[in-house]
Amino acid sequence: MCVQRLFSTFAGGRPGVGLLLQRGLTGAFLFYHGFVCLSETARCVGVVPQVVGAAAGVLLVVGLWTPIAGLLVAIVEGAILWSSTGNDVSSVMLAVLGATLAMIGPGAWSIDARLFGRRHIDASDV
């Protein structure tokens, strides 16, 4: 899958910093939830969705396969929300953040931008 075809540009500047912060905080929160779930399995809703969410969180932090990881986060958090009996605001928040990251993209400071971003070809290099 070519990530470049999904986005016209990889946002830099202040929007890129905003995406970096959004990816970092979302991924860290997902990783934390997965770690807590593994350490306290008795209180955990579902171990597998939490671990998948934590793995997607790691991908979001480094900015690798961001559209796929964001979509996976939205699906997994929706499943966690569906299977829980209480009102879990954090699952709703993480699902929305994952969906927005899947739609907006990773930004300029990501592995996706390095692997799939447009390259500047200098005329002196040819």
Alpha-helix residue ranges (DSSP H) falling in 40-65: 47-62
Q: What is the chain's length? A: 126
Spatial neighbors of 68 by CB under 8 A, at least 6 apart, are 1, 59, 102
Please list the pLDDT of the chain residue by residue as tens digits (126 residues): 555 555 556 778 898 899 999 999 999 999 998 888 888 867 776 788 889 999 999 999 999 999 999 999 999 999 988 887 555 898 999 999 999 999 998 888 888 888 887 666 666 655
Enter the pTM of the model.
0.81
